[in-house]
Amino acid sequence: MLGCSSVSSFAQTTLRLWNIHGEGYPVTTAVNWYAEQIAKATQGRYQVQVFSNASLGDQPSAVAMLKAGDLDLAEFSSAPLTEAVPGIKVLNMPFLFHDSAHMFRHLDGHLGEQFEKDLAASGFAVLGWYDGGARSFYCTSPVLRINDLAGKRIRVQKSEVYTELVVALKSTPQYVPFKEVQTAFQEGKIDCAENNMPSYESTGHFRLAKHVYLTDHVVSPEALVMSTKLWSSLSPADRTIFKDVGLQSARYMRELWNKRVAQALTITTESGSTFSRMNDPGIMIRRMAPLYNKYMKDPATYKVLLTIIADK
Protein backbone atom coordinates (compact mmCIF):
# COMPACT_ATOMS: atom_id res chain seq x y z
CA MET A 1 0.00 0.00 0.00
CA LEU A 2 1.31 3.47 -0.81
CA GLY A 3 1.84 5.53 2.31
CA CYS A 4 2.75 2.59 4.55
CA SER A 5 6.41 2.14 5.35
CA SER A 6 8.07 0.21 8.13
CA VAL A 7 10.89 2.02 9.89
CA SER A 8 12.88 1.61 13.12
CA SER A 9 13.24 -1.48 15.26
CA PHE A 10 9.64 -1.42 16.51
CA ALA A 11 8.04 -1.46 13.08
CA GLN A 12 6.59 2.01 13.00
CA THR A 13 4.08 2.43 10.16
CA THR A 14 3.42 5.81 8.54
CA LEU A 15 -0.02 6.40 7.05
CA ARG A 16 -1.03 9.20 4.68
CA LEU A 17 -4.20 11.19 5.36
CA TRP A 18 -5.65 13.43 2.62
CA ASN A 19 -7.59 16.62 3.42
CA ILE A 20 -8.82 19.33 1.06
CA HIS A 21 -8.80 22.23 3.55
CA GLY A 22 -6.05 24.58 4.70
CA GLU A 23 -4.58 25.06 8.16
CA GLY A 24 -6.89 26.54 10.77
CA TYR A 25 -10.06 25.10 9.21
CA PRO A 26 -12.14 22.94 11.60
CA VAL A 27 -11.61 19.79 9.53
CA THR A 28 -7.85 20.32 9.40
CA THR A 29 -7.62 20.97 13.12
CA ALA A 30 -9.66 17.83 13.83
CA VAL A 31 -7.62 15.52 11.55
CA ASN A 32 -4.37 16.89 12.96
CA TRP A 33 -5.72 16.09 16.42
CA TYR A 34 -6.66 12.62 15.16
CA ALA A 35 -3.10 12.03 13.96
CA GLU A 36 -1.67 13.07 17.33
CA GLN A 37 -4.05 10.83 19.27
CA ILE A 38 -3.39 7.78 17.07
CA ALA A 39 0.34 8.12 17.71
CA LYS A 40 -0.32 8.24 21.46
CA ALA A 41 -2.88 5.43 21.53
CA THR A 42 -0.64 3.05 19.55
CA GLN A 43 2.55 4.02 21.43
CA GLY A 44 4.04 5.29 18.19
CA ARG A 45 3.43 2.12 16.18
CA TYR A 46 1.32 4.18 13.77
CA GLN A 47 2.12 7.70 12.65
CA VAL A 48 -0.47 9.55 10.57
CA GLN A 49 0.97 12.15 8.21
CA VAL A 50 -1.66 14.73 7.24
CA PHE A 51 -1.54 16.21 3.72
CA SER A 52 -3.86 19.21 3.75
CA ASN A 53 -4.94 21.70 1.08
CA ALA A 54 -5.45 18.86 -1.45
CA SER A 55 -1.68 18.59 -1.85
CA LEU A 56 -1.97 14.97 -3.06
CA GLY A 57 -4.55 15.77 -5.73
CA ASP A 58 -8.15 16.92 -5.98
CA GLN A 59 -11.04 15.26 -4.15
CA PRO A 60 -12.27 12.92 -6.94
CA SER A 61 -8.70 11.71 -7.45
CA ALA A 62 -8.25 11.12 -3.72
CA VAL A 63 -11.55 9.19 -3.56
CA ALA A 64 -10.32 6.89 -6.33
CA MET A 65 -6.92 6.48 -4.66
CA LEU A 66 -8.43 5.54 -1.31
CA LYS A 67 -10.95 3.19 -2.85
CA ALA A 68 -8.07 1.42 -4.61
CA GLY A 69 -6.07 1.24 -1.39
CA ASP A 70 -3.41 3.63 -2.70
CA LEU A 71 -4.20 6.14 0.04
CA ASP A 72 -4.68 5.27 3.70
CA LEU A 73 -7.06 7.80 5.22
CA ALA A 74 -8.99 10.87 4.10
CA GLU A 75 -11.66 13.35 5.07
CA PHE A 76 -14.22 13.72 2.28
CA SER A 77 -17.38 15.70 1.73
CA SER A 78 -20.41 13.58 0.91
CA ALA A 79 -20.74 14.59 -2.76
CA PRO A 80 -17.72 12.71 -4.17
CA LEU A 81 -18.45 9.75 -1.89
CA THR A 82 -21.94 9.44 -3.34
CA GLU A 83 -20.46 9.26 -6.83
CA ALA A 84 -18.31 6.34 -5.69
CA VAL A 85 -21.11 4.76 -3.64
CA PRO A 86 -24.43 5.52 -5.42
CA GLY A 87 -26.47 4.00 -2.59
CA ILE A 88 -25.81 6.97 -0.32
CA LYS A 89 -26.75 9.72 -2.80
CA VAL A 90 -29.73 10.43 -0.58
CA LEU A 91 -27.37 12.31 1.77
CA ASN A 92 -27.09 15.13 -0.77
CA MET A 93 -30.80 15.50 -1.44
CA PRO A 94 -31.87 19.14 -1.08
CA PHE A 95 -33.85 20.04 2.04
CA LEU A 96 -33.56 16.51 3.44
CA PHE A 97 -32.16 17.65 6.80
CA HIS A 98 -33.27 20.94 8.31
CA ASP A 99 -30.09 21.35 10.39
CA SER A 100 -27.00 19.49 11.57
CA ALA A 101 -28.64 18.27 14.78
CA HIS A 102 -31.36 16.58 12.71
CA MET A 103 -28.72 15.05 10.44
CA PHE A 104 -26.61 13.64 13.25
CA ARG A 105 -29.63 12.09 14.97
CA HIS A 106 -29.66 9.75 12.00
CA LEU A 107 -25.96 9.42 11.21
CA ASP A 108 -25.09 8.60 14.83
CA GLY A 109 -27.81 5.92 14.84
CA HIS A 110 -29.09 3.01 12.77
CA LEU A 111 -29.21 4.93 9.49
CA GLY A 112 -25.58 5.92 9.85
CA GLU A 113 -24.68 2.29 10.48
CA GLN A 114 -26.36 1.32 7.20
CA PHE A 115 -24.52 4.03 5.29
CA GLU A 116 -21.27 2.82 6.86
CA LYS A 117 -21.96 -0.71 5.62
CA ASP A 118 -22.60 0.59 2.10
CA LEU A 119 -19.38 2.60 2.17
CA ALA A 120 -17.36 -0.30 3.56
CA ALA A 121 -18.57 -2.53 0.73
CA SER A 122 -17.10 0.01 -1.72
CA GLY A 123 -13.73 0.46 -0.03
CA PHE A 124 -14.34 3.12 2.63
CA ALA A 125 -14.30 2.35 6.36
CA VAL A 126 -16.01 5.25 8.16
CA LEU A 127 -14.20 6.35 11.32
CA GLY A 128 -16.41 9.35 12.11
CA TRP A 129 -19.07 11.63 10.66
CA TYR A 130 -17.98 15.28 10.42
CA ASP A 131 -20.20 18.32 9.88
CA GLY A 132 -20.38 19.68 6.33
CA GLY A 133 -22.82 22.40 7.38
CA ALA A 134 -25.62 24.12 5.49
CA ARG A 135 -24.89 25.21 1.94
CA SER A 136 -26.06 28.43 0.28
CA PHE A 137 -25.28 30.36 -2.90
CA TYR A 138 -22.87 33.28 -3.22
CA CYS A 139 -22.59 35.39 -6.34
CA THR A 140 -20.84 38.33 -7.94
CA SER A 141 -24.17 40.18 -8.38
CA PRO A 142 -27.18 40.53 -6.06
CA VAL A 143 -29.55 37.57 -5.68
CA LEU A 144 -32.73 38.54 -3.87
CA ARG A 145 -35.04 35.74 -5.00
CA ILE A 146 -34.77 32.28 -6.53
CA ASN A 147 -35.39 33.52 -10.08
CA ASP A 148 -32.24 35.66 -9.86
CA LEU A 149 -30.20 32.46 -10.09
CA ALA A 150 -31.65 31.61 -13.52
CA GLY A 151 -29.06 31.75 -16.29
CA LYS A 152 -26.11 32.05 -13.94
CA ARG A 153 -23.05 29.84 -14.19
CA ILE A 154 -22.82 28.14 -10.82
CA ARG A 155 -19.82 26.16 -9.64
CA VAL A 156 -20.80 22.75 -8.29
CA GLN A 157 -19.01 19.66 -7.10
CA LYS A 158 -18.84 16.89 -9.67
CA SER A 159 -21.94 15.16 -8.37
CA GLU A 160 -25.12 14.02 -10.06
CA VAL A 161 -27.40 15.44 -7.37
CA TYR A 162 -25.74 18.87 -7.33
CA THR A 163 -25.82 19.03 -11.11
CA GLU A 164 -29.53 18.23 -11.20
CA LEU A 165 -30.19 20.75 -8.44
CA VAL A 166 -28.62 23.60 -10.41
CA VAL A 167 -30.30 22.58 -13.66
CA ALA A 168 -33.66 22.63 -11.85
CA LEU A 169 -32.94 26.28 -11.02
CA LYS A 170 -32.51 26.99 -14.76
CA SER A 171 -28.83 27.70 -14.14
CA THR A 172 -25.70 26.24 -15.74
CA PRO A 173 -23.57 23.90 -13.60
CA GLN A 174 -19.83 24.43 -13.86
CA TYR A 175 -17.45 21.74 -12.59
CA VAL A 176 -14.51 23.50 -10.97
CA PRO A 177 -12.09 21.90 -8.45
CA PHE A 178 -12.39 23.45 -5.00
CA LYS A 179 -8.89 24.97 -5.12
CA GLU A 180 -9.65 26.65 -8.47
CA VAL A 181 -12.93 28.37 -7.56
CA GLN A 182 -11.25 31.65 -6.63
CA THR A 183 -9.42 31.77 -9.96
CA ALA A 184 -12.66 30.95 -11.79
CA PHE A 185 -14.31 33.96 -10.13
CA GLN A 186 -11.33 36.19 -10.96
CA GLU A 187 -11.36 35.13 -14.61
CA GLY A 188 -15.12 35.54 -14.94
CA LYS A 189 -15.75 31.86 -15.66
CA ILE A 190 -18.45 31.53 -12.99
CA ASP A 191 -21.07 33.86 -11.58
CA CYS A 192 -21.85 31.95 -8.37
CA ALA A 193 -20.77 29.05 -6.22
CA GLU A 194 -22.51 27.19 -3.42
CA ASN A 195 -20.96 26.09 -0.17
CA ASN A 196 -21.10 26.47 3.60
CA MET A 197 -20.16 29.71 5.34
CA PRO A 198 -16.79 28.59 6.78
CA SER A 199 -15.64 27.58 3.28
CA TYR A 200 -16.95 30.87 1.84
CA GLU A 201 -14.88 32.76 4.39
CA SER A 202 -11.73 30.65 4.70
CA THR A 203 -11.11 30.50 0.92
CA GLY A 204 -11.44 34.25 0.47
CA HIS A 205 -14.34 33.77 -1.95
CA PHE A 206 -16.20 36.47 -0.02
CA ARG A 207 -13.84 39.07 -1.46
CA LEU A 208 -14.99 38.24 -5.01
CA ALA A 209 -18.60 37.11 -4.54
CA LYS A 210 -20.10 39.41 -1.95
CA HIS A 211 -23.77 38.57 -2.44
CA VAL A 212 -24.98 35.59 -0.43
CA TYR A 213 -28.39 34.03 -0.96
CA LEU A 214 -29.08 32.03 2.19
CA THR A 215 -30.99 28.94 1.11
CA ASP A 216 -29.51 26.18 3.31
CA HIS A 217 -30.51 23.98 0.38
CA VAL A 218 -28.30 21.08 1.46
CA VAL A 219 -27.24 20.16 4.99
CA SER A 220 -24.64 17.48 4.43
CA PRO A 221 -22.14 15.40 6.36
CA GLU A 222 -18.50 14.75 5.70
CA ALA A 223 -16.64 11.61 6.72
CA LEU A 224 -13.26 10.62 8.06
CA VAL A 225 -12.56 7.34 6.27
CA MET A 226 -9.91 4.65 6.04
CA SER A 227 -9.21 2.39 3.09
CA THR A 228 -10.84 -0.98 3.75
CA LYS A 229 -7.62 -2.52 2.44
CA LEU A 230 -5.83 -1.03 5.43
CA TRP A 231 -8.76 -1.66 7.79
CA SER A 232 -8.79 -5.38 6.99
CA SER A 233 -5.07 -5.61 7.77
CA LEU A 234 -5.44 -4.19 11.29
CA SER A 235 -5.76 -6.29 14.41
CA PRO A 236 -9.11 -6.12 16.24
CA ALA A 237 -7.47 -4.05 18.97
CA ASP A 238 -6.07 -1.53 16.49
CA ARG A 239 -9.41 -1.29 14.69
CA THR A 240 -10.98 -0.31 17.99
CA ILE A 241 -8.34 2.36 18.51
CA PHE A 242 -8.71 3.89 15.05
CA LYS A 243 -12.51 3.88 15.31
CA ASP A 244 -12.74 5.23 18.86
CA VAL A 245 -10.31 8.05 18.13
CA GLY A 246 -12.24 8.77 14.92
CA LEU A 247 -15.50 9.17 16.84
CA GLN A 248 -13.77 11.48 19.31
CA SER A 249 -12.33 13.57 16.48
CA ALA A 250 -15.83 13.86 14.95
CA ARG A 251 -17.25 15.24 18.20
CA TYR A 252 -14.32 17.64 18.45
CA MET A 253 -14.79 18.77 14.84
CA ARG A 254 -18.49 19.48 15.37
CA GLU A 255 -17.67 21.77 18.30
CA LEU A 256 -15.07 23.60 16.23
CA TRP A 257 -17.53 23.86 13.35
CA ASN A 258 -20.25 25.64 15.30
CA LYS A 259 -17.75 28.25 16.50
CA ARG A 260 -16.36 28.75 13.02
CA VAL A 261 -19.79 29.31 11.44
CA ALA A 262 -20.40 32.25 13.78
CA GLN A 263 -16.90 33.59 13.15
CA ALA A 264 -17.30 33.33 9.38
CA LEU A 265 -20.57 35.27 9.41
CA THR A 266 -18.95 38.05 11.45
CA ILE A 267 -15.87 38.30 9.23
CA THR A 268 -17.76 38.32 5.94
CA THR A 269 -20.39 40.78 7.15
CA GLU A 270 -17.74 43.20 8.37
CA SER A 271 -15.98 42.91 5.00
CA GLY A 272 -19.09 44.03 3.13
CA SER A 273 -20.85 40.80 2.16
CA THR A 274 -24.63 41.13 1.90
CA PHE A 275 -27.02 38.37 2.94
CA SER A 276 -30.50 37.73 1.58
CA ARG A 277 -32.60 35.00 3.16
CA MET A 278 -34.87 32.82 1.02
CA ASN A 279 -38.18 33.43 2.76
CA ASP A 280 -40.17 30.61 1.17
CA PRO A 281 -38.21 27.33 0.73
CA GLY A 282 -41.34 25.84 -0.83
CA ILE A 283 -40.60 27.66 -4.09
CA MET A 284 -37.22 25.98 -4.42
CA ILE A 285 -38.52 22.65 -3.15
CA ARG A 286 -41.14 22.62 -5.90
CA ARG A 287 -38.39 23.21 -8.45
CA MET A 288 -36.71 20.06 -7.13
CA ALA A 289 -39.75 17.85 -7.91
CA PRO A 290 -38.12 16.02 -10.87
CA LEU A 291 -35.09 15.25 -8.71
CA TYR A 292 -37.22 13.95 -5.81
CA ASN A 293 -39.38 11.86 -8.15
CA LYS A 294 -36.31 10.24 -9.65
CA TYR A 295 -34.88 9.10 -6.34
CA MET A 296 -38.21 8.11 -4.82
CA LYS A 297 -38.52 5.46 -7.54
CA ASP A 298 -35.58 3.55 -6.08
CA PRO A 299 -36.83 1.26 -3.26
CA ALA A 300 -33.73 1.68 -1.06
CA THR A 301 -33.69 5.46 -1.45
CA TYR A 302 -37.44 5.64 -0.89
CA LYS A 303 -37.13 3.84 2.44
CA VAL A 304 -34.34 6.10 3.64
CA LEU A 305 -36.20 9.25 2.58
CA LEU A 306 -39.33 8.19 4.44
CA THR A 307 -37.31 7.42 7.58
CA ILE A 308 -35.76 10.88 7.60
CA ILE A 309 -38.86 12.80 6.56
CA ALA A 310 -40.91 11.10 9.29
CA ASP A 311 -38.44 12.44 11.88
CA LYS A 312 -38.89 16.07 10.89
Q: What is the pLDDT of residues 249-306, one digit of tens each?
A: 999 999 999 999 999 999 999 999 999 999 899 999 999 999 898 888 887 788 888 8
pLDDT at 38 > cutoff 60? yes
Closest CA to 137 of 153, 120, 124: 153
Burial of residue 62 (CB within 10 Å: 0-12, 13-18, 19+) is buried
CB proximity list for 86: less than 8 A, separation 6 or greater: none
Q: Which domains does the chain have, with CATH numbers?
A: 6-310 (3.40.190.170)
- What single string gives the DSSP state of each residue in 197-246? HHHHHHTTGGGT--EEEEEEEEEEEEEEEEEHHHHHHS-HHHHHHHHHHH
Q: What is the pLDDT of residue 122?
A: 92
Q: What is the pLDDT of residue 2?
A: 46
Q: What is the pLDDT of residue 12?
A: 92
